[in-house]
Homo-oligomer: A and B are copies of this chain.
């Protein structure tokens, strides 16, 4: 069925009646079609055996379309990445849409197409969904919540509480791209080079890393709260100190310039296609070289190490050589970043 161009979403599209069926058929069913989704039951049925990772994330990013992605790609990759960070192979996704009455159906189609492309890239299937429509002014455009299931290989034990003194801390590439891409689009800022979101599915990169070493202890994607929040969470969960070297942390020069201009700390900016890995020292180089062979890990570097500590702490060795505590971010720098 072909969607009519130029139409807007009506409250009746969320009624559970004929218009809901038409919307599901024309937008979701057509674009995301697979054997499981096509059954159109309320629940998908999938056969699995073993340790499963199970996760959920709501996406409320504003604007909905930004350089390097949109809410469709972001909502798919965000959940894929949470599964990958548990050491799981991401497999199945459910997606729920809360749509504001009057939202352009063309935009919804673009978003679902983008989600479908990202699912293809990530090797996952969207197997069930839900659509609610709220009246004009009761939501802002569209919010997308995705939930995912992945299978954790029997040999894999990845946890945010598994970092050990001596482990190397690796980031997979430049930090802060997503945060600055959203902010510059939102503010209408114009840089010589467009800063694009790094929004990408990381399941393949993680598989490469786990193939290279059985001593990958902890994986995490530094999204909201950025590298600072992620490192603090891992330090607390593992009961260790983490020291990172500011000069080793990779930034695009445009991101650094934008941060200086706006007075932002790049270490709290969100990333949507980067990961932080804690790897046993003896395997760090092996993992690093495996990462660099993957498109989404080409810029991987070691940025620090884990140290013994009575109190969980994150230290930053600054460019000037001093050592300061890098604390958990407090206020809200950038609302609706993801």
Contact between B336 and A56, CB atoms less than 8 A apart: no
Contact of A149 among B54, B137, B223 (CB under 8 A): B54
Give the number of residues in A that approach B within 8 Å (Cβ atoms).
Answer: 84
In angstroms, Cα B211 to Cα A131, docked, is 33
A54 contacts which chain B residues (CB < 8 A)? 43-46, 92, 94, 127-128, 147, 149
Beta-carbon contact of A52 and B58 below 8 Å: no
Q: Which chain B residue has the least Cβ–Cβ distance from A19?
A: B330
CB of B145 within 8 A of CB of A20, answer: no
Structural contact, A331 and B42, CB atoms closer than 8 A:
no
Q: Interface digits, A45-69 against B, CB 8 Å rule (1 contact, 0 not)?
A: 1111111111111111010000000
In the bound complex, do residue B130 and residue A94 qualify as a contact, i.e. CB atoms below 8 Å apart?
no
A140 at the interface (CB under 8 A from B): yes
Given contacts A17-B225, A98-B98, contact A134 B52 (CB under 8 A): no
B336–A135 contact, CB under 8 A? yes
Residue A85, interface by CB 8 Å: yes
This protein's copies in its complex: 2
Known A47-B50, A140-B138, A336-B134: A328·B21 in contact at CB below 8 Å: yes
Q: Does A231 contact B (CB under 8 A)?
A: no
Contact of A10 with B332 in the complex, beta carbons under 8 Å = yes
User: Is A56's CB under 8 angstroms from B130's CB?
Assistant: yes
Pairs of residues from A and B, 6 with the lowest C-beta to C-beta distance, nearest first: A16-B224, A16-B225, A147-B147, A17-B329, A56-B94, A145-B145
List the interface of chain A (C-beta within 8 A of B).
10-12, 14-21, 39-60, 62, 82-83, 85-86, 88, 92, 94-98, 127-130, 132-135, 137-140, 143, 145-147, 149-150, 152, 159-161, 220, 223-226, 229, 237, 268, 270, 328-333, 335-336
12 A/B residue pairs, CB under 8 Å, sorted by A:
A15-B331, A17-B328, A17-B332, A18-B328, A43-B54, A43-B55, A43-B83, A45-B54, A54-B128, A60-B132, A138-B139, A138-B336
